[in-house]
Amino acid sequence: MLKVTKQFKIMPKLPSWLANTVEKLISNKIYEVSVAETKMLSNDIKLVAFKGDFFDVSFTPGLEILFRVNANEYRHYTVSRFNREAQTFEVIFYLNRQGPGNVFATQIRTGDQLRLIVDQAHVGYKDGCNQHFFFGDETSIGLYESFAERAVDRDEEYFGILELDEHNFEALDRLKLLIDAVEVNKSFPAEKAIHWMENMHPKCWEMWKYATFYLTGRAKSVKQFKKYLKQRGVSFKQIITMPYWEVGKVGGA
């Protein structure tokens, strides 16, 4: 018999009969939600507010949930904001125009009734640090929205650089995130973000070189940006990485 633990992990793709069995085994982690609101933050960035009963859920920054996007596939998303009093939370979806996750997110409408699985935070906010630097792409926005809220609540500093398609820059402005953006060059992962770092004023780097650096998004970009930070003298213990996707991989573009 399969034993379900707190760390039980659902693979992105399962035969439908196995997915049904797994959901029965983890029924205590499945919640019914309704879609309270949807709005487009840019051409490809969609914010969805959900409402449900989550009094027994501990919402921490970076908490991930799973949606079953079709009969046999799941996708992970990060809760970007949570209001315990109203029992609502928000998720920021990146509509990449391909794959079952995109189809699912595109079709979400106000009033829809959905089911989700509450997972855990796979990228945690570093307690005890008062500076937080974010690197990533469109898939990182939800995570960094949740981290930014925690930083502001604790009177800590946050900053960062994201590689985005230019038409998605406005999403950061609409969320009022204090994060810069450069236009992504998909052929040269992290190149423009590294160039942006090189142009940072030396005094600014002196102020931020002991921050915690969070690197998420495309795997090749994460690898290149981590390599750059190491070359700049940032210690391994300061860097937190979580590649979300890569071209040709399940769940990627």
Is residue 173 predicted with pLDDT exceeding 50?
yes
Domain spanning 131-245: which CATH class is it, in words?
alpha beta
Q: Which pLDDT score, from 0 to 100, does residue 126 have? A: 97
Higher pLDDT, 196 or 18: 196
Q: pLDDT at residue 6 above 80?
A: no
In the block, tokens 């070189």 appear at 209
Return the closest-CA partner of residue 80 out of 94, 88, 91, 69: 91
Average pLDDT of every residue of the chain = 92
- Structural domain boundaries in the chain: 16-121, 131-245
Cα 237 to its chain centre, rounded Å, is 21
| Tens digits of residue pLDDT in 196-233 | 999 999 999 999 999 999 999 999 999 999 999 999 99
Q: What is the mean pLDDT of residues 138-152?
A: 98
pLDDT at position 94 over 70:
yes
pLDDT given at position 239: 98
Name the percent of the chain lying above pLDDT 90.
Answer: 81
Segment 118-126 mean pLDDT: 95
| 161-184: average pLDDT | 98
What pLDDT is stored for residue 22 in this prediction? 79
Work out the average pLDDT over 70-84.
94
**Ranges 2-11, 106-115, 177-186, 232-241: which has the least confidence:** 2-11
Q: Which residue type does 239 have? A: I
For residue 37, is pLDDT > 80? yes
Domain 16-121 has CATH 2.40.30.10: yes
pLDDT at 20 over 80: no
Q: Would the pLDDT of 13 be above 90?
A: no
pLDDT at 11: 65
Residue 3 has pLDDT above 80, yes or no: no
Strands (E), the chain: 30-40, 45-51, 63-68, 74-83, 88-94, 113-121, 131-136, 157-164, 180-183, 212-218, 239-245
Burial of 196 (0-12, 13-18, 19+ CB in 10 A): middle
